[in-house]
Amino acid sequence: MAVTMQDVARRADVSVKTVSRVVNDEPHISPDKRERVLAAIDELGYRLNPAARTLRTGRSGVIGLGLPDLREPYYAELAHAVLQQAGRRGLTVLVDPTGGDRDRELALLGGRGGGLDGVLLYALGVGAQDAVGAALPAVLLGERVAPGASAAVDVDPAVAAAVAHLVETGRRRVAVLGADPRPGSPGARRTEAFRRAAAVHGLAVDEALLVDVGPRWGRQEGAVAAARLLDAGRPFDALLAHNDALALGALRAALDRGLRVPGDLAVIGSGDTEDARYAVPSLTSIAQGTSEVAGTAVALLVDRIEGRPSRDEAPRAAAVDLRLRESTLGVGVA
């Protein structure tokens, strides 16, 4: 039999009205009650009746999620987190791989295909002003997104922590993969954060070691870029990749050339994906608060869809930190 709102209320020991308010993400509910209701929803597998909601509200209960590249593990894990958070609220998510193309992102914000109540977009081609003027309620995801409804991460402190960690472990020449030359892009921002951190620690920055791998940050691109650097004979003892896929490709290229990681070369990625945790050696990586970003983004979008004032119009920054593992500490250490 289908799980009902009454079942959830009994399991959480709250009223049916409280369950309804939590499901609809209404404010002024104690954190304890909200957590109990959400735990009961997950445990029982409760889902709203979409047909009943459509009749009651005139909305479809379907939102769009635009991501640049589902082949990249970070975006795939972010999509999974959004699906979980949306599912708690009885929302269906249609995922659109935009390729970071501005026209495709604008089309999604404009309600391409119809039937969407709102849009979550990890934007590479559009900005906050495009989202403000969109035909649908929209929330942007990404790094240090401009003011407006957005769920952001600020990777700069973790990049600084990564450089400090490399210096502490004796590294002096650091290569960077993903040094995108486009102003304002994630690669450009993270590379500037690297430059600032290098200056703090007195590291010389060799421009030839700052590599633009192109628009896609995949394992193959990381392997090819790292192989070129290693084969060029330009010395470096650490590699900072702007995502885990690039780092994993670089790790493969280094091991293929007989290098010891981290003995000869320390490697750091970004995204803290499952692949990073199970790589051999396991990969030190910058965790980007994926679950927190997803939860914040869905809550903000529901606010906009429901016509409620956003509780905070400033970009909400998720916690970001450095997860130390074998690729910088040594096998068996982390």
Per-residue model confidence as pLDDT tens digits over 213-244:
988 899 999 999 999 999 998 899 999 999 99
Per-residue model confidence as pLDDT tens digits over 270-326:
999 999 999 999 999 999 888 888 888 898 898 888 877 665 555 556 667 899 999
As a dihedral over the C-alpha atoms of residue 228, residue 230, residue 236, residue 238, rounded to 10 degrees, the angle is 90
| 124 has pLDDT over 70 | yes
Task: Annotate 175-215 with DSSP letters as a single string.
Answer: EEE----STTSHHHHHHHHHHHHHHHTT----GGGEE---S
Q: Residue 170: what pLDDT?
A: 95
Give me the mean pLDDT over the 188-214 stretch.
Answer: 94
3-state secondary structure of 9: helix
Bond before 27 cis per omega within 30 degrees: no
Question: With bands split at pLDDT 50, 70 and 90, how would you rate the model's confidence at 134?
Answer: confident
Note the pTM of the prediction, 2 decimals.
0.76
Q: CA 39 to CA 28: how far, in whole Å?
A: 18
172-176, 184-188, 243-247: which has the minimum mean pLDDT? 184-188
Task: Annotate 113-150 with DSSP letters as a single string.
Answer: TS--SEEEEE-SS--HHHHHT-SS-EEEEEESPPSSSE
Give me the mean pLDDT over the 110-120 stretch.
Answer: 83
| 101 has pLDDT over 70 | yes
- Are residues 53 and 42 in contact, defined by beta-carbon separation less than 8 angstroms? no
Say which residue the tokens 């930190």 belong to.
321
